[in-house]
Amino acid sequence: MEILETAAALQARTEMWRRDGSRIGFVPTMGALHDGHLELVRAAVAENDVVIVSVFVNPTQFNNAEDFNKYPRVLESDTELLRNTGCTALFAPTPEEMYPRPAVLQLDFGPLERVMEGAHRPGHFNGVGIVVSKLFHLARPHRAYFGQKDWQQVAIVRQLVADLGFDVELIAAPTVREADGLAMSSRNRRLSPEARQVAPRLHEALLLAAAHLPAGTAVAQAEAQKFLGGFPGIELEYLEIADAQTLQPDLTAGGDVVICLAAWLDGVRLIDNVLVHPASVTAQRNSGGQA
Annotated binding site for beta-alanine: 61
Give ∠ CA 99-121-59 in degrees, rounded to 5. 20
Question: Are the beta carbons of 260 and 242 closer than 8 angstroms?
Answer: yes
Residue numbers belonging to the annotated binding site for (R)-pantoate: 61, 153
Known catalytic residue at 120: no
Question: Are the beta carbons of 135 and 28 closer than 8 angstroms?
Answer: yes
Marked catalytic residue, from 37, 142, 203, 212: 37
How far apart CA 280 and CA 166 sit, in angstroms, is 35
Look at residues 255, 226, 235 and name the one whose alpha carbon lies nearest to residue 243. Answer: 255
Question: Are the beta carbons of 32 and 42 closer than 8 angstroms?
Answer: no
Look at residues 174, 181, 176, 215 and name the one whose alpha carbon lies nearest to residue 196. Answer: 181
Residue numbers belonging to the annotated binding site for ATP: 30-37, 147-150, 176, 184-187
Residue numbers belonging to the annotated binding site: 30-37, 61, 147-150, 153, 176, 184-187
Residue 285: HSE in the Cβ half-sphere, 13 Å Cα cutoff = 18
How far apart CA 79 and CA 82 sit, in angstroms, is 5
CA-based end-to-end distance of the chain: 49
Look at residues 238, 14, 286 and name the one whose alpha carbon lies nearest to residue 135. Answer: 14
**Helix residue spans in the chain (DSSP H):** 7-19, 35-47, 65-70, 75-83, 95-98, 116-120, 124-139, 151-164, 193-198, 201-211, 217-229, 282-287
Look at residues 92, 90, 159, 89 and name the one whose alpha carbon lies nearest to residue 126. Answer: 159
Query: Which residues have a catalytic role annotated?
Result: 37
